[in-house]
Copies of this chain bind each other. A is one copy, B any other.
């Protein structure tokens, strides 16, 4: 605990932690000052993400990059899950779906591309173990097929009832969760040797002891979740006040802020020439949201939602998920990266962001 406080004192970024109580104070005093609460909550999430990054790296330093990456995405995606559950309870299915699609696209394009670019600006060429990337890309591809097929089969068919889409969504959810579980068996039990890191560069900050690291992981994740809820409640009105479209808010802003913690870890990994960690966090997180978080939300909607949620997404979102999956597959086949690969991936994300930003409000 002393160690944690010492670290906070030496790292100016962590001084922003003052905004965590500020968010809750702000919410108690002025619950309708949406733009203020929005800014406060974003400022509070940044240092929490940095702490989470250090805690995760401390655990991963002892367990290997792949397990560390898995841990990281699991805990990072708890945030997304908590946010989505809150929105689900209120029946805001459009926001839930937009944030799921945005999280998949943001993790596989923005996080991956920025990692490649940040790493590539420091190192001429970076190598990483592409086996983990191929596994995650394969799982993502499967999830994309599951999201694509219902609308492809039903398109232009007037005979398709909503009940078909709902029953199919439950079936697809079970298939996706089974594939995800089998993927974990494959990577952790039967073929772990495929997923060893290509290189290790253990330099960097001194890792915390296991106990402190695990405690910080748990506590900080809870704090992120609490702040994120304030963020979600304020984001819609704040965005309107700032002139952003709802599609842009759900797909881009919620997804980026929700993944802030994982991004800090991924970018730190890239700057330390440990792209295995970055790619594992980015694609692993995207795969986990597509094959675990989304199916869980479909199944849980039968219990806590006002009505069942299905897996039928807005066609534009399906196309973006498809393009993101193909992009991630193409750039990770070689296991090598340079700065321009990051530029290409980020440009695809920028095309999406620009399109959603300019989209007239009624569409989506």
Cβ contacts A138-170/B at 8 Å (1 or 0 each): 110110011011101111110111001001100
- Size of the chain A interface, CB-CB below 8 angstroms: 64
Q: For residues 146 through 198 of chain A, which have their beta carbon under 8 Å from a beta carbon of chain B?
A: 146, 148-150, 152-157, 159-161, 164, 167-168, 171-172, 175, 178-179, 182-183, 186, 190-191, 194
CB atoms of A175 and B340 under 8 A apart: no
Which of B141, B175, B347 contacts A142 (CB under 8 A)?
Answer: B347
What is the 8 Å Cβ interface bit string for chain A, positions 324-351, against chain B (1 contact, 0 not)?
0001011101000011110110011011
Q: Which of B141, B159, B191, B316 contacts A360 (CB 8 A)?
A: B159
Q: A329: nearest residue on chain B (CB-CB)?
A: B330
This chain: how many copies in the complex? 3
**B149:A363 contact, CB within 8 angstroms:** no
Q: Per a CB cutoff under 8 Å, which of B141, B344, B363 touches A179? A: B344
12 cross-chain CB contacts under 8 A = A139-B344, A142-B351, A145-B323, A146-B351, A149-B351, A153-B319, A157-B363, A164-B358, A164-B359, A168-B358, A175-B351, A329-B330
Binding site for B on A (CB under 8 A): 124-125, 135, 138-139, 141-142, 145-146, 148-150, 152-157, 159-161, 164, 167-168, 171-172, 175, 178-179, 182-183, 186, 190-191, 194, 315-316, 319-320, 323, 327, 329-331, 333, 338-341, 343-344, 347-348, 350-352, 354-356, 358-360, 362-363
